[in-house]
Structure 1
Amino acid sequence: MNKTILIIVGVLIVVVGGYFLLRGAPGPGAQPPIETPLATQSPATGVTEINVSGNEFSFSPASINVKAGERVKITFRNIGRAPHNLVLEGLGITTKTINGGQTDIVEFIAPSAGTYSFFCSIPGHRSAGMEGSLKVE
């Protein structure tokens, strides 16, 4: 009896693990992500523009560097299939929750020097690895 239960549990683990592994893999006909510069400074507006993409279950780039006091514009693009958002922890800054293929933009003044986490607040996404850091110098 115990052997049967162990076999059933083992099979369930393999099936569930395979599901999550394949769920994050791009399907046939999926387009590769568009390469964009990570950060650019617009001299006319004085805004540092940063492009961040989110997928199951990561951000690219996972680390962002800015200077304290500068105006920052983050364009968040969901290149995954599941809904995602980007939350800057402790700063009260968050994008809308968006579906795959959509974008949202947040603008803010970089806070005082330090390292701040950003993450996807959809339940389970942060614990699956969907987080990064904003380093303010």
Structure 2
Amino acid sequence: MKKQVAGTIMSVDTDGASFLVQQQGSQYSFYNFPVFTGQTPLGSVLSKLREEVGLDVDQLRLFDSVIAELDDEKVALFVFNNLTINDHVRALFAKQGLQFVAGSQLHQLFESVHVNTQPLFEQLSK
């Protein structure tokens, strides 16, 4: 099985924070897919956003990255911000089945993502 990677874009405005997610039925999940051969997990996310979504990734800033457990699999999760979101950008994401959803509507998603807060180097020293 190929290693998976996940990414989201956080947008904060007067209504609060919203996140780029995909919806499957009544459930939301982060945009995730296999890491591209010959690329790093971060490179895979940026390539996917640039080449398949059509996004100008030069606008993005990496806000955070964590190793998260999604569906019992450890996945690199990258959180970006600094994107100007307008109708054009929303349409690009909609073509890929992605949308920005208010954080207040994503309780199920946030509760299902398990993030290890123990520093990686501390784990390696044991």
Higher helix fraction: Structure 1 or Structure 2? 2
- Normalised to the residue count of structure 2, the TM-score between the two structures is 0.27
Give the structure, 1 or 2, with the largest relative contact order (CA under 8 Å, sep 6 or more): 2
- Normalised to the residue count of structure 1, the TM-score between the two structures is 0.26
